[in-house]
Amino acid sequence: MKFALRFLSLALIGTGIFTGCSEKVEPKPVTYSQLLTGTEKKAWRLVTFQVMDEGKSDGVQNIQAILQPCEADDQYVFHANAERKFEYTNGASKCDAAESDVIFEDNWSLVNGNASLEFALPVLGGKFPWTIKNLTATTLTIEYYFPDVDASYRFTFNSNTK
């Protein structure tokens, strides 16, 4: 009986020591903003383009085949600052040697409720509300739905930065 009481006492003390010292792990889910911007800023490169007509694609177009090499390596940089700064920058090659590194600056906005991202896409010449189709640490696919017709543009970007 004494042995059973000692064993039970030691078991309770041992359990208290191990559970009292454990660190509570709290998950920190990554938000759309963090996936888009990283911790400070994140650069994305446009890789594919699709025209969707009545929900059907005319095929995926590789940007390398459509744009000049000096345009195809340009980057879309989303900053994680309070101003939500957005930059469209030259890549490694420039179309004109006199061009600055930053082609233009603007701001981006994100509405998580409907997964809508608004920023300027120079290929189309304006700022549009894009529906996020896919967003991971390395891939961003967005789509713009035309209001008057059953058609859309879909763009996919890749990022090498985390």
Instruction: Name residues whose C-beta falls within 8 Å of residue 126's C-beta, 6 or more positions apart in sequence.
Output: 120
Mean pLDDT of the chain: 84
27 occurs within a structural domain: no
Q: Are 132 and 115 in contact (CB under 8 A)?
A: yes
Residues 6+ apart with CB under 8 A from 119: 76, 78, 86, 106, 107, 108, 109, 127, 128, 130
Residues 67-123 pLDDT 10s? 888 899 999 999 999 999 999 999 889 988 888 999 999 999 998 766 899 999 887
The pLDDT value given to residue 1: 52
The verdict on residue 19 lying in a domain is: no
Residue 143 belongs to domain with CATH number: 2.40.128
Q: Which of 24-33, 95-104, 149-158 has the lowest mean pLDDT?
A: 24-33
> Which range of residues forms the domain containing residue 94?
38-158
Query: 88: closest CA among 73, 67, 109, 69?
Result: 73
pLDDT band at 14 (very low <50, low <70, confident <90, very high): low
- Give the pLDDT score at 5: 46
Does residue 68 lie in a domain region?
Answer: yes
Q: Is 57 within the bounds of a domain?
A: yes
With respect to residue 12, please indicate whether it lies within any of the assigned structural domains: no
